[in-house]
Amino acid sequence: MQYIGYWELEYKDMDVVIEKFNQQLSEPEKYPKIIFGPFSLNDGGKGFTGYETDDPEKLQRLQFHFAPEMLWKFVPISDVSMAIPLWKKMKG
């Protein structure tokens, strides 16, 4: 599945977050795959990153890895092109 991971941090924690991000990149098997981002919302330390994983433990591990400096919310996303045929089938 694919997810958008919305995150929030305080700028005072940026050095620690950068260190943890580099550690995450050096151990990709432990964490969900980054498929886009990270992107800043330019809203006081808020942003999002796209992830892909079929293992919910990897999402949890990511949250634990960045705690307590970052807060996370994961929202599943799907490709609309997959939903259209299903919608037509259900209505048909």
Report the distance separating Cα 40 and Cα 15, nearest Å: 16
Q: How many domains does the chain have?
A: 1
Look up residue 77 and give its two tokens.
């996303």
pLDDT at position 36, please? Answer: 97
Q: How confident is the model at residue 92 (pLDDT cuts 50, 70, 90)?
A: confident
Would the pLDDT of 77 be above 90? yes
Report, in this order, helix, strand and coil percent for the chain, each rounded to 5.
45, 35, 20
Work out the average pLDDT over 16-28: 97
Q: Which domain holds residue 45?
A: 2-91
Q: Is residue 79 scored above 90 in pLDDT?
A: no
Report pTM: 0.86
Nearest-angstrom CA–CA distance, 9 and 20: 13
* Strand ranges, E, within the chain: 2-9, 33-40, 46-52, 70-77
Distance CA(85)–CA(90), nearest Å, equals 9
CATH no. for residue 12?
Answer: 3.30.70.1060
Give the pLDDT confidence score for residue 83 in this predicted structure: 82
